[in-house]
Amino acid sequence: MTGASARCRAAILISGGGTNLQAFIDAVRGGTLDLDIAVVISNRADAYGLTRASQAGIETVCIPHKDFDSRDAFDAALAEGIDAYAPDIVILAGFMRILTARFVRRYQGRLLNIHPSLLPLYPGLDTHRRALEAGDRWHGSTVHFVTEELDGGPRIIQGRVPVRPDDDADSLAARVLEVEHRIYPLAAGWLAAGRLVLCDGKAVLDGRELSEPYQYGG
């Protein structure tokens, strides 16, 4: 942060509907999250999250990945777009691009992601279908620091939901999203307040190493 009394500035990166972004907007408005959402950046012009941001009076930027002929070139433009707003932290909220190691290192310790599974289970895509096919009784979502390993960075908080006998991937996804909307602003608030740090490759909350992620209780 730029000074002791300055509000933490965040860039939020999206690709789609932006319900997690909306949860951040609502938490800031409701006074439960002390954050200045400086900019919302999307790699897709049709992402509904851009509309949500505009409606909330937040600046938006679109950087279409298709305009670039390499991952490196896109990530360089993305970093430039982010840095123009001088954020303290960067929040990936349904940002559906794999980021280069160079990008990840640039924001190390300041870069969070939410992944819709109880990591280390099911990194990658199709997590809800995979949990159903495995017959899991519990599913959920994990907020983690982003490192060079895909969906493999130190875990911070998990929210669990029971898998119901009549669940399909859509009903399960909807229930997981509800818990995401609670755990992600919470974790971002810890980072923004300086309570959460990445230290020697471990997530540390209030001075205590999180060898297991914090389990959200409801």
Catalytic residues: 115
Nearer CB in complex with ligand GRF: 88/180: 180
Q: Cis check for the bond before 120: say yes or no (omega within 30 of 0).
A: yes
- Segment 158-166 long-range contacts (CB within 8 Å, at least 24 positions apart): 158/118, 158/119, 158/183, 158/213, 158/214, 158/215, 158/216, 159/183, 159/216, 160/118, 160/215, 160/216, 162/137, 162/138, 163/131, 163/132, 163/136, 163/137, 163/138, 163/139
CB of 15 to ligand GRF, least distance (A): 7
Residues 6+ apart with CB under 8 A from 27: 33, 35, 185, 189
CB of 154 to ligand GRF, least distance (A): 17
The rounded Cα 145 to chain-centroid distance in angstroms is 9
CB of 13 to ligand GRF, least distance (A): 11
Nearer CB in complex with ligand GRF: 19/100: 19
Residue with token string 């897709």: 44
CB of 21 to ligand GRF, least distance (A): 6
Beta bridge partners of 60: 40
Nearer CB in complex with ligand GRF: 49/87: 49
Nearer CB in complex with ligand GRF: 80/168: 168
The 8-class DSSP code of residue 109 comes to T
Interface contacts to ligand GRF, rule CB under 6 A: 14, 16-20, 49, 93-94, 114-116, 141, 177, 180
